Structure 1
Amino acid sequence: MWMRPFGLDWEGYFLSDEGEEIPPMGIQPESGRGQEEPAVEIPEELPILPLRGVVVYPLTVVPLAVGQPRSIRLVDDAVLGRKLIGLVASKRPELEEPMPEDCYAVGTLALIQRLLRMPDGTMRILVMGLERIRIVEYTATQPYLKARVERHPETMTPGPELEALRRKTAELFARMVELVPGLPDQLGAMAMAVEDPKQLAYAVATYLRMSLQEAQEILELDDVAAKLHRLIALLTREIEVLELGRKIQSEAQAQVEKMQREFFLRQQLEAIRRELGEVDEHQMEVEEFRRKIEEAGMPPEAKREALRELERMAKLPPASAEYGVIRTYLDWMVSLPWNRTTPDNLDVAHARKVLDEDHYGLQDVKERILEYLAVRKLKQERAGQLEELETRDYIRRAREGAILCFVGPPGVGKTSLGQSIARAMGRKFTRIALGGIRDEAEIRGFRRTYVGAMPGRIIQALRRVESRNPVFMLDEVDKIGADWRGDPASALLEVLDPEQNREFRDHYLDVPFDLSQVLFICTANQLDTIPAPLRDRMEIIFIPGYTETEKFHIAMGYLIPRQLRENGLLPGEITFTEAAVRRIIREYTREAGVRNLERAIGRVCRKVATRIAEGATEAALVDAEDVPRYLGKPLFTEEEITHRVEVPGVAIGLAWTPTGGDVLFIEATRMPGSKGFVLTGSLGEVMRESAQAALSYVRAHAKDYGIPERFFEQSDIHIHVPAGAVPKDGPSAGITIVTALVSLLTDRPVRPDVGMTGEITLRGKVLPVGGIKEKVLAAHRVGLRAVILPKRNEKDLEDVPEDVRQAMQFVLVESIDEALQVALQDRRESARAVSRDGTRRSRAPAKAKSGRSSR
């Protein structure tokens, strides 16, 4: 039993069996007023036909399609009898055979007026709703649903309000008919002629677009006035939607008409120009591009592609979308520096002078640039002789550019060094920042199939600089990301490979571009995050942090003059003494570079500039005791290391950080317990393993150091590394942890002037570690006099500045025993260091800057 409406054609009319014309809305011609239709006798058991997605109302005529076998049988049985059936809507339209509980209780008593059998076995019936009924009880479910029903008449109170509702409903329905293209215009007039409010309500509901629940709600409302109220609200909503749709359609049609009008006007304009003998603008643009392609100096493949696209553009109308895409592509092609270069200044002495003017120190970088210029100069001078030499390498072509990578902490001048190199060589300089880039298309460009496609940053930068041999800086190459859009680091493999970048293909251009003459300079703070294949293509040059002496010379020679210019001060209006600069370095900055130092100098200059702007005339002399007056209280207060290590169990370690070297204190303590071992201070997995190895070594050699062999069974050990918010990792703290444990368990303090670094083994060997220069500079900066280093790191001391080597003592060890002999004080010496009041005094005080603010 399944029903659905069919052929609900707004313009169609149906014929009853007698041939009488029935309007589509099912509005029957009214008999004379005051005459009532005789009540239809309802059988005791009425066949019930569930409807799918439709509600049939009384006083309306609706066509239905019948396809289910038991529904067909129901119709056949009904036609043989009185042709009366009950029509109820299904609550769940998706069910193929709804049961009684799936149907609404309120429906319509209907009369089958016409039946048409189709060739596929289905039926088409025309039913007329008679009156509203309520199902009292289902009496059968097979072969189809049957039920006992009762009349459920509507209530209607005649009066002015009901008449007003009828007129408003008819008026809104007529307005809706005007907005729906498929509805005949006379339908609105017919609705206006209906005087029975109930018949009008059901007729309008038949044609109104609404949900099944809303349609059933109209049927179940008892009061005719309530039905009209609900219909007015639904009609108002539908009219608003239809008016908005008509507005949108009108605007779209107006736009199409405008485009057609413009097209016809252009065609007429072209015809007029041809008659007058004037040149077509479209043709002029094509010829202009043709001239630029010839003058661009493109390689053969790029030239063929450009001309092919130009021929396509010449055949397209300028108003087409493809025309704009091709025009943009050709504009990129003709504006690239295919054969434009800047001549190199190969004077090595001039380059050395420029590099020294711009930067202090950095000898490794300067020497590498001078070597590059020297090789270029020799190749240019001996070009003829080199061509005469026989070569057996027919695969690899001569390399013209260089690919360097400056690695160092922030603020040491990596980026500015690239600008200085460009000035020394006489080349143009361009830079792109790679930090945070996650899309591979940022490097290689977007394919032209995408809307708004453009070349990658490499090609864009070359277009801006208008040269194919610039100094090209790829800043922050260690901070490239990757996600579902691709890996930019992988895209850089072709850019930074001397064997491949001669024919670099951007996805947008899709033709090779020669990058072999570009001097690529990458910058990074650390190498660990750079993929190994990319790292292998670059020549790594490390730029370590500056010493205090180097910072002083940089400040006096570069930073102070620059800050004088930036703050509008003349030479002589402010003078910094050596003591003042060194105090700023020690007490107001702690960094590997000089950025914070320059900011501090700038603050002093701005305060002096403010005083001069207010009318002061005397020159300012900034001495050491004047620094707090300009910069406030010191950011890094001085404290004696002695106070940190006077208690046994504290040792001084040296660490490497991306911003340079640093000093860290490793503290050990014990408490009653049973084999507990606690590590705190944001330690990484490698450092935790080093601590475990250190404890195992001390336990294994407890007897050698005079420690009770069973000490660990009755004690808990806690090792802490202060600055707990800073993550720490690496194996180089192994020797420091052993020293702290032995100091704790033997009650022998560590010498306050000794720092140490080195990896340990369970056999007591001390293995080499990295970052020796940075660690030694950190020890010198805080005032340590001696550093314990692995024996195999002796070669790394050559990188330490000469003045630091002369000021410090380096103890090279191969075993832990050697390190402990130097690091620990003996008991008699420790006892002499204790004063009468119980406080411990160091015989070799050394001062270090604390990382805590003095506030």
Structure 2
Amino acid sequence: MKNLLSKLQKKKSKTGQENSTRHQLTSNIKHVLPYLTIGETVIFPNTIAPIFISNQSDIKAFESSMEKSKNIVIGYPIDKKKSKSLNNTYKTAVLCHILQVLKLPDGTVRILVEGVNKVKLSTITFNEFYIAECKIINNPIPIDTKTKSLIEVIKKIFTEYSSIHGKIPEEVVTTIDRSDTPDKILGNICFVTPLPYAVKIKYFLENNNLINLENIAVTLKSEIEILRLQQNLHGRVKKNLEKTQRDYFLNEQIKEINKELGKDEDPSGSDQLLKQIEKLELNVKDKEKLTKDANRLNKLQPMSPEAGILRTYLETVVELPWNNKSEDLVSLKKAKSILNDEHYNMVKAKDRILDFIAVRQFDVEKKSPVLCLVGPPGTGKTSLGKSVANSLGREFGRISLGGVRDEAEIRGHRKTYIGALPGKIIQAIKKTGVKNPVILLDEIDKIAAEYKGDPAAALLEVLDPEQNHTFTDHYLEIPFDLSDVLFIATANSLNPIPAPLLDRMEVLEIQGYTEIEKTEIAKRFIIPKQLKTIGLTDAQISFTDDSLLKIIRKFTRESGVRNLNRNVASVLRKIARLKLEEFEEGDEPFKAEDIKFEVTDENLNDLLGDDKIPDEDIKDSTVPGLSVGLAWTQLGGTVLPLEIVLSKGKGRIILTGQLGDVMKESAQIAISYVKSNCELFGIDPDFDKDVDIHIHAPEGAIKKDGPSAGITMTSALISAIKQTCINKKTAMTGEITLTGQLLPIGGLKEKVLAAARNGSTDVLIPLANKKDIKDIPKEITDKITFHTHSRVDEAIFSLFPKGTFNKNS
């Protein structure tokens, strides 16, 4: 149609004034002409446009026009749904001349008309068709310089618009470029641009062409911006569609290639995952969630990042042992045999484990306890956890909690993070492959809290039998039942463990070993293990009992057996080296089976060097003001010598040796107690006048604290005042009060073992600790005499030689 328009415009321009004057009407009289209305196209003067009519009355108006002057008035309704009355028609219409007629097969008539003039309607009547009485509107406005400039600007804007639009014929652009009047510019632009009907009517009704030109310039600029935005969006959509179509095409090719090669036809793995999900024994809600995720995975591109994250998540979930459980060992006799074969002594810990195995036969719910093994390093806590798993016939998993600071290490990371993983608990269960393993939480007292969260708080749910059946890892997002898991924690001290966490665990103390126990452990476990490491047998290298005792006494001083293990390994390496050197010096070839060596106490120093622990120690207490106390540390028991000297001064109390606040208070209590009982101990009440009391604990680089040094300080102070030595080879422990009571202490076995290692023959303890002596091995109690007292004065009398005081017990 636009091509036809351009051709007619050319034809019109050729005919010139002849065609123009043929249908001009007089402007000073009223004219009566056929009338019809159109509701979409707005025809301006000097423009050509097609219209379509099908209404019979409109067709009759058209035929009447053709019989006469071919002139017809076209009006525009205010409301298209209402009648063609004058009240519903804009008063300004356009007088048109019919240029071409084409009757279509369906009865519709297409008419090509040219706008001639605007007319003002007076009346509209109906007699078979509508007839309008109108008057020509002549409102000539001179084309000044501003109007010409606006016309040129609009032409340039329209040229830009047509280039962006891309579908406007070049002939139309040329026609508009040749237009020299505002009416032609407005009419042609309104015809070829998709402006709304209301905008076109607004331009048509405005008689001020200058205003119309300014408005059409703004409108064209807006249309240009709209076109650019549409093209931008279209480009993006097209690019995405092309990529999607390309990916789809390539994926289909890959599928066909894989099909020909006999490879997997499910690159996303979703089909296999759906089958695995269906086999899981999960509740309906959780299974629906996993199924939904698997279906979503099937719709994603296999190489997209989201598909990788989702696939890893689903694979992790289906690989967990939701349904797989191992059968527990029900034979107490076999379980006891396994425990005894793998660990020496540890009677209490073994009895508790056997109790658990026995109760499992009657417990319907079968809730597993949470055991916490507490003891010095090197006492076999971690290996005992492995033995528990062996005795139960379960899989074993170990989680090292030392230095763990992030809560996510326990509960996992959200799966949306890159590199997200489940927590250590779920990872350990996945690794064991069963839902009821024995999991060792190693070094639970070494957990640290920081801004990322408190791992100890996260363990509260894990270790609570009432909650852990619905433990939810952040990565899994669905609950996992931990009630079948047997958790065993290890710690060197209970003090760092938060009270709520400690309340969820059953504490089993693993105490230090005696020399006899260490000797047995060396012969049964350490030496065979180290011999196997270097490829030798006990028939080739052997240790005498005296040599093992010498290693224990002269080269190690510990509660556990780690240093003993290192020294045995060092001895064997040295023997292997010496024997190899001997063979290299001779002519015979080296044969490992020819090695024969016995380690004795006489040749031990040649292998390990000089003794690391001297024979004589401060335990002999041969100096006034010196007493030997006993202390418990995370490494086991140790001796705690205290020295007190009195010197001229101003009555000050000097404390050195890194004493903690509790020990400082114990020193104040000891001094106050002695002052209040001077007559009882035969001491001058003014003993501290013009005298400084200096209390010192050797090994000043080590911090010391605790209340059990009270009796040690008291005895050392009395010894310094009376310048009398305490009985030789006597060690002591006990908390004192101002009223002279001797209170019980903890860690008695560790302290007594330390006293025995240091050669003490007498140990003073509170009377309330007498019941704990039975826990000490017989070989130790046979060597040590225990002095038990409930009062401080009684203890003091027993520590000094007879005759030291006026009254002796």
Q: TM-score range by the shorter chain?
A: 0.5 to 0.7
Is the contact between residue 443 and residue 491 of structure 1 (CA under 8 Å) also seen in structure 2?
Answer: yes
Tell me the TM-score normalised to structure 1 length: 0.63
Gap change, CA 1:338 and 1:712, over 3 Å in 2: same
Match of 2:349 in 1: 365
Query: Which residue of structure 2 aligns with residue 376 of structure 1?
Result: 360
Q: Which residue of 2 aligns with 1:499?
A: 466
Q: Does the 8 A contact of 2:258 with 2:265 survive in 1?
A: no
Secondary structure class of the residue paired with 2:327: coil
Q: Give me the whole-angstrom Cα distance separating, in 2, the residues matched to 1:272 and 1:557.
A: 67
Displacement of 1:276: 9.9
- For the pair shown, which has the larger CA radius of gyration, 1 or 2? 2
Q: CA deviation at 1:821?
A: 1.0
- The Cα of 1:807 is off from its aligned counterpart by 2.0
* Structure 2 match to 1:203: none
Q: 2:531 aligns with which of 544, 552, 564?
A: 564
Q: Which of the numbers 639, 648, 657 marks the counterpart of 2:633?
A: 657
2:598 maps to which residue? 621
- Structure 2 counterpart of 1:268: 249
Distance of 2:617 and 2:264 partners within structure 1: 86
Equivalent pair of 1:435/1:476 in contact (CA under 8 Å): yes
Aligned equivalent of 1:165: none
Asked if the contact 1:569/1:609 (under 8 Å) is kept, the reply is no
Cα deviation, 1:776-811, whole Å, max 9, x if unaligned, reads 111122121111111111111121112222221111
Quote the offset at 1:492 in angstroms: 0.3
Aligned residue for 2:300? 316
Aligned 1:292-371 pairs, distance under 5 A: 292-371=276-355
Number of equivalent positions: 556
Q: Does 1:746 pair with 2:713?
A: no
Distance in 2 (CA, whole Å) between partners of 1:355 and 1:661 is 26
Match of 2:755 among 759, 776, 779: 779
- Per-residue CA deviation, residues 557-597 of structure 1 (Å, 9 max, x unaligned), is 11111111111112311111110000000000011100110
Which whole-Å deviations, capped at 9, do the CAs of 1:398-428 have from their partners, x for residues lacking one? 2432211100000000111111111222111
Contact 1:296-1:337 at 8 Å conserved across structures:
no
Q: CA deviation at 1:826?
A: 4.3
2:613 is aligned to 636
Q: Pick closer, same or farther for the CA change 1:823–1:460 going to 2, 3 Å.
A: same
Q: Distance in 1 between matches of 2:542 and 2:258?
A: 77
RMSD: 2.4
Shift of 1:744: 0.9
Task: Please tell me the residue identity of whatever aligns with 2:311.
Answer: R
Equivalent residues of 2:761, 2:784 under 8 A apart: yes
Give the counterpart letter for 1:287 in structure 2: D
Q: Is the 8 A contact 1:497 1:537 kept in 2?
A: yes
**Post-superposition offset of 1:275:** 8.9
Matched residue of 1:575: which SS? strand
Give the alignment partner of residue 399 of structure 2, picking from 419, 432, 437.
Answer: 432
Are positions 1:580 and 2:564 aligned together?
A: no
Q: How far apart are residue 262 of structure 1 and its match?
A: 6.9
Which string of whole-angstrom CA distances, capped at 9 and with x for unpartnered residues, describes residues 724-766 of structure 1?
1111001100111010111111121111121111111111111
Answer yes or no: is the 8 Å Cα contact 1:786–1:810 preserved in 2. Answer: yes
- Cα distance in 2 for partners of 1:504, 1:673 equals 66
Matches within 5 A, 1:70-219: none
1:704 match: 680
Which residue among 479, 487, 501 is the counterpart of 2:446?
479
Match of 1:37 in 2: none
Inter-partner Cα distance in structure 2 for 1:735 and 1:828: 17
Indicate conservation of the 8 Å contact 2:642/2:698, yes or no. yes
What is the letter of the counterpart of residue 474 of structure 2? H
| Change beyond 3 A, Cα 1:738–1:259 | farther
Q: Is the 8 A contact 2:374 2:493 kept in 1?
A: yes
Q: Residue 270 of structure 1 contacts residue 280 of structure 1 at CA under 8 Å; is this kept in 2?
A: no
After superposition, the C-alpha distances for 1:479-513 in whole angstroms (9 at most, x for unaligned) are: 00001100000000010000111111001111110
Letter paired with 1:759? E
Alignment of 1:403-482 (within 5 A): 403-482=370-449
Match of 1:668 in 2: 644
Q: CA deviation at 1:663?
A: 1.0
Q: 1:728 aligns with which of 704, 707, 711?
A: 704
Q: Secondary structure at the match of 2:339?
A: helix
Task: Find the residue that maps to 1:670 and give its secondary structure.
Answer: strand
Matched residue type, 2:448: G
Q: Counterpart in 1 of 2:622? A: 646
Q: For the Cα contact (< 8 Å) 2:669–2:737, is it kept in 1?
A: yes
Aligned partners of 2:653, 2:718: CA distance in 1, in Å? Answer: 15
Equivalent pair of 1:768/1:793 in contact (CA under 8 Å)? yes
Deviation per residue, 1:334-362 (Å, 9 max, x gap) = 11110111111211111111111111001
Write the distance in 1 (CA, Å) between the matches of 2:681 and 2:255: 107
Aligned AA for 1:588?
Answer: F
User: Aligned letter for 1:707?
Assistant: I
Amino acid at match of 2:597: A
Cα offset, 1:637, TM superposition: 1.0
> For residues 507 and 433 of structure 2, what CA distance do their matches in structure 1 show?
28
Q: For each residue in 1:676-695, what CA deviation from the matched residue of structure 2 results, as whole angstroms up to 9, or x when unmatched?
A: 11011110000000001101
1:764 corresponds to which residue? 740
- Which residue, out of 784, 798, 803, partners 1:822? 798
Cα shift readout 1:660-711 (whole Å, capped 9, x = no counterpart): 1111211110111121110111100000000011011111222322222112
Residue 270 of structure 1, CA deviation: 4.3
Residues 1:258 and 1:350: Cα distance change in structure 2 (over 3 Å): farther
Among residues 777, 798, 807, which one is paired with 2:783 in the alignment?
Answer: 807
2:349 & 2:804 partners in 1: Cα distance? 52
Are the equivalent residues in 2 in contact too, given 1:748–1:827 (CA < 8 A)? Answer: no
- The change in CA–CA distance for 1:738 and 1:609 in structure 2 (over 3 A counts) is same
Structure 1 contact 665–722 (Cα < 8 Å) conserved: yes
Q: Is the 8 A contact 1:668 1:720 kept in 2?
A: yes
Contact 1:670 1:715 in 2 (8 A): yes
How do 1:603-622 residues align onto structure 2 when only pairs under 5 Å count? 603-614=570-581, 615=583, 617=594, 619-622=596-599
The range that moved more, 779-788 or 686-695, is 779-788
Structure 1 counterpart of 2:766: 790
Counterpart of 1:575 in structure 2: which amino acid? S
Q: Partners in 2 of 1:567 and 1:320 — Cα distance?
A: 52
Counterpart Cα distance in 1 of 2:466 and 2:403: 27
**1:429–1:465 CA contact under 8 A, matched in 2:** yes
Work out the CA distance in 2 between the residues paired with 1:618 and 1:452: 54
SS in 2 for 1:546: coil
Structure 1 residues 755 and 274: CA distance shift in structure 2, 3 A: closer
Change in CA separation of 1:258 and 1:622 when aligned onto 2, cut-off 3 Å: farther
- C-alpha separation between the residues in 2 aligned to 1:578 and 1:560? 12
What is the aligned partner in structure 1 of residue 514 from structure 2? Answer: 547
**1-structure distance, mates of 2:804, 2:509:** 46
Take 2:804 and 2:792, find their aligned partners in 1: how far apart are those partners? Answer: 22
Structure 1 stretches lacking a partner, 5+ long: 1-255, 384-397, 830-855
In the TM superposition, 1:7-86 aligns within 5 A as none
Letter of the 1:760 partner, please give it.
I
Mapped contact 2:372–2:490 kept (Cα < 8 A)? yes
**Secondary structure of 2:452 counterpart:** coil
TM-superposed CA distance for 1:454, in Å, is 1.7
Deviations 1:24-51 (A, max 9, x none): xxxxxxxxxxxxxxxxxxxxxxxxxxxx
Using the size of structure 2 for normalisation, the TM-score is 0.66
Q: Could you tell me how far 1:633 is from its partner in structure 2?
A: 0.6
Counterpart residue number, 2:498: 531
Give ranges in structure 2 of 5+ residues lacking alignment.
Answer: 1-236, 584-589
